[in-house]
């Protein structure tokens, strides 16, 4: 992430990239499960960075209820991805397509709340050190093996 980029913009950019990956897999089912799996890996990483780096300081700054809603929805997204991964393992293409559309709908609902309510507070409420830590993770961080979101 470049120095002049706000965290809210970078986080929203990740949303758009994840959505685009899922949409691309829906548009070209013959491409195989690779693009969809890449999008789900990016989504799991994105959920990790929010729950580990973004949500704790925002909760401490008074955003308890919005963060609880976001975590609950992360759990729904996580379970949908687990179900979708099972369908991909079983080579259930039609069911995987439907589950992908459902995942995209969940993301649309989630992102439409998170982007205008939570993300602007990242730039406003995080300390300089917290913003830098989140920016470093955005640039090169990886999700620890075995990590699962709080409400999965």
The residue to which tokens 């789900």 are assigned: 40
DSSP structure class, residue 2: -
d(CA 95, CA 101) in angstroms, rounded, equals 10
**Per-residue tokens: 37:** 């799996």
**Per-residue tokens: 106:** 């969940």
pLDDT tens column, 48-106: 999 999 999 999 999 999 999 999 999 999 999 999 999 998 878 889 999 999 999 99
Opening angle at CA 128, ends 127 and 130, nearest 5: 65
Helix, strand and coil content of the chain, in percent to the nearest 5, comes to 80, 0, 20
Over 70: is that where the pLDDT of 1 sits?
A: no
pLDDT tens column, 124-150: 899 999 999 999 999 999 999 999 999
Domains of the chain (ranges; CATH) run 7-140 (1.20.120.520)
**Per-residue tokens: 109:** 């609902």
pTM score: 0.94
The residue to which tokens 């397509």 are assigned: 97
């Amino acid at each position: 992430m470049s120095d002049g980029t706000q965290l809210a913009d970078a986080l929203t950019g990740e949303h758009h990239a994840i959505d685009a990956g899922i949409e691309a897999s829906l548009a070209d089912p013959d491409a195989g499960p690779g693009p969809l799996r890449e999008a789900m890996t990016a989504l799991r990483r994105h959920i990790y960075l929010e729950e580990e780096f973004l949500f704790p300081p925002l909760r401490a700054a008074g955003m308890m209820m919005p963060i609880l809603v976001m975590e609950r929805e992360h759990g729904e997204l996580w379970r949908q991805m687990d179900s979708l991964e099972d369908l991909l393992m079983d080579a259930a293409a039609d069911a995987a397509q439907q589950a992908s559309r459902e995942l995209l709908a969940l993301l649309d609902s989630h992102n439409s709340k998170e982007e205008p309510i939570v993300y602007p507070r990242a730039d406003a409420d995080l300390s300089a050190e917290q913003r830098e830590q989140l920016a470093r993770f955005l640039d090169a961080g990886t999700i620890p093996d075995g990590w699962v979101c709080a409400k999965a």
